[in-house]
Amino acid sequence: MFRIIKELDIKFMEIRKIPLILSSLLLAVSILSIVIKGFNFGIDFSSGYIVQLKFDNKVTVIDVQDKLSKNNLTDSTVQLYGSSKEILIKLKDEEIFKKTNINNYLKKIFNDTSFKITKLEYVGAQVGSELREKGEWAMLIALFSILIYIALRFELIYGLGAISALIHDVIITLGFFSFFNLTFDLSVLAAVLAVIGYSLNDSIVVFDRIRENNIILRKLSIFAVLNKSINQTLSRTLVTSFTTMLVIISLLIFGGNAVENFSIAMLVGILIGTYSSIFIASTSLSYFGIKRPEEN
């Protein structure tokens, strides 16, 4: 038997103040960043154009920026993308594109070099705000239906515990994107929702064991039950997080730019999710006042 984790008896309950302080700090920073700084929304949730151009010859960012601003496209960001022949341009939804479509306008701007449009994404203002609204709804519906399921399957107190861990994970993941000014687009939303599912999966496994031990180990104190349950499931928690981490890292390496933000969100979410299912979900049960069976 090859085991990373041998018989363990970590006193999680006795040190529960430490993760509590750490999480409070992380949550405070995240919430402050979200409120004050907000998100760097991608065009999915704001509106505008993203165009990826592949030139036959080398180009420089300054040169491209110069040409754009000469053609009244001042509010743009330009970056090299992959090679020195490819660039990515972000543009606002300019009035001029209603008259001349953007494809022809770009051909006019870069008429001295030949290029191909490898990617073009446009989201109109109305569609952007609709997508954002739908995203918020999906998140709320997911949280709520999960709360109901756990409350039915376990007891309400477990539902509250799982949801606190979940909200903790989601806020910190969102805070990470806000704090580091990473682009928040549809794929990141998908990742956040996946993290909701994942983090829950983790908490449920521990809760399941707590429920079981709470009945079997009648002689122990509730703290001892919680400690033992976390310790018993610790190797599973770490093994699963590790395998998931392996594939996300390979997505980051080979997945290309299109899934980069997705992978980052998943990576952060799973790290936080693993931490919270060990240190937050179960300890929160003690704060919510979990009872022994005979006390019921």
Partner 1 sequence: MYKYPTWKYILVLLVLSYAVIYSLPNFYNTYPSIQVNTFDKKEVDSLNLQQLSEDNKISNIGIDGNNLFFNSIDDQLNAYNKLIKLPSYQFTLSNYNHIPKWLSTINANPVSLGLDLKGGVHFLLQIDSDNVKKSRFTQLENNLRNFFIDNGIRYNTFFTDADSVTFKLNKDSIDPEVLDTLNENFSDYQITTLKSEGGMDISATLSQESFQNDIKASMKKNLAILRSRVNELGVSQPIIQQQGKNRIIVQLPGLQDSTRAKTILGSTATLEFRLTRGSPDDWSQSEAIGTNTISESLLYRHKNGSPVLLSRDVIASGKDIEGANSGFDGQTNQPAVFVNLSSYGASNMLDTTSKNIGNRMAVVFVEQDKNQVINIATIREAFSKRFQITGLDLQEAKDLAILLRSGSLSAPMTIVEERTVGPSLGSENIISGRDSMLLGMILVILFMFIYYKKFGLIANIALIFNILIITATLALFQATLTLSGIAGIVLTVGMAVDANVLIYERIREEILNGNSPNASIISGYNKAFSTISDANITTLIAAIALLTIGTGVVKGFAVTLVIGILSSMFTAIVGTRALVSFIYENKNNKGLSI
Q: How far apart are the C-alpha atoms of 282 and 198, rounded to whole Å?
A: 16
In this chain, which of 31, 88, 109, 190 binds partner 1, going by CB under 8 A? 190
In this chain, which of 58, 70, 250, 291 binds partner 1, going by CB under 8 A? 250
Interface positions, 61-100, toward partner 1 (CB under 8 A): none
Whether 150 and 143 have beta carbons less than 8 Å apart is answered as no
Minimum CB distance to partner 1, residue 265 (Å): 11
Choice between 17 and 219, CB closer to partner 1: 219
Instruction: Give the position of tokens 């754009």.
Output: 68
**Looking at 28-36, 213-221, 228-236, 283-291, which segment touches partner 1 (CB under 8 A)?**
228-236
Choice between 146 and 172, CB closer to partner 1: 146
Residue 2 binds partner 1 (CB under 8 A):
yes
Minimum CB distance to partner 1, residue 110 (Å): 14
Interface positions, 9-48, toward partner 1 (CB under 8 A): 44
Q: How far apart are the C-alpha atoms of 48 and 236, rounded to whole Å?
A: 45
Structure tokens at 26: 């992380």
Instruction: Give the position of tokens 């956040």.
Output: 192
Choice between 20 and 90, CB closer to partner 1: 90
**Looking at 58-66, 67-75, 198-206, 279-287, which segment touches partner 1 (CB under 8 A)?**
198-206
Site string for partner 1, 208-227 (x = CB under 8 A): xx------------------
Site string for partner 1, 141-170 (x = CB under 8 A): xx--xx--xx--x-----------------
Choice between 41 and 179, CB closer to partner 1: 41
Q: For residue 112, which of 79, 63, 69 has the smallest C-alpha distance?
A: 63
**Angle made by CA atoms 237, 240, 241, in degrees to the nearest 5:** 80
Residue 109 binds partner 1 (CB under 8 A):
no
Minimum CB distance to partner 1, residue 68 (Å): 19
Q: For residue 201, which of 239, 240, 164 has the smallest C-alpha distance?
A: 240
Q: How far apart are the C-alpha atoms of 286 and 296, rounded to whole Å?
A: 15
Structure tokens at 165: 């861990």
Residue 108 binds partner 1 (CB under 8 A):
no
Long-range contacts, 133-142 (Cβ 8 Å, 24+): 135/45, 135/186, 135/189, 138/189, 138/193, 139/170, 139/189, 139/192, 139/193, 139/196, 142/193, 142/196, 142/197
Minimum CB distance to partner 1, residue 288 (Å): 19
